[in-house]
A = this chain, B = another copy of it.
Amino acid sequence: MSTVPMVEVEQATGLVKEVYDDMIATRKMSQIPNFWKTLATHPPTLASTWSEWKAVMGTPGRLDRLTKEMIAVAISTTNRSTYCVNAHTAAAIKAGMDKEMLGELMAVIGFFNKVNRMSDGYQVESDIFPKIE
């Protein structure tokens, strides 16, 4: 149970209602996820986080939505954030990830969590690589 009682859709007014309405219209959701209903207890954080979602996840760019959702799973898994692993695995599935792609994703996640620690544990010095110009 969240630390604070969530703001349910029928309780929303003002800025919170605006965000909920925009969210339902933009994401074609039938209900507001618990994360957003909890953020709504602090309206400015709800509004700015939702703006950031739209800019980062909802705007077409160079990375497609499925790629971004798989990156979200990789980060949430590495941070062991139960809520986000669950939510963004679902979002990646909705964006087209099947069992085979999930298997490859988990293999990549496992491999880099392993080599990250081995390179740190052995105190390996960085190689010199060209940067972006």
Contacts and interface: CB of A to CB of B under 8 A. Distances in A.
Interface of A: 1-5, 33-35, 38-39, 41-42, 44-45, 48-49, 51-53, 55-57, 61-63, 67-68, 70-90, 93, 98-127, 129-133
A99 B132 contact: yes
Contacts of A34: 124-127
**Which label, helix, strand, loop or mixed, suits the secondary structure of the A interface?**
helix
A114 to B, nearest CB: 4
A109 B119 CA distance: 11
Contacts of A33: 127
A89 B3 contact: yes
Counted per complex, copies of this chain come to 6
A68 B133 CA distance: 22
**Most chain B Cβ neighbours within 10 Å, of A41, A103, A118, A130:** A118
A-B pairs, 10 with minimum CB distance: A42-B103, A90-B129, A81-B116, A77-B121, A114-B114, A83-B119, A110-B114, A75-B112, A113-B117, A78-B78
Given A35-B115, A71-B71, A110-B115, 14 more contacts: A2-B122, A35-B118, A41-B99, A42-B107, A44-B107, A56-B108, A63-B105, A68-B108, A78-B79, A81-B116, A84-B116, A89-B129, A106-B121, A113-B116
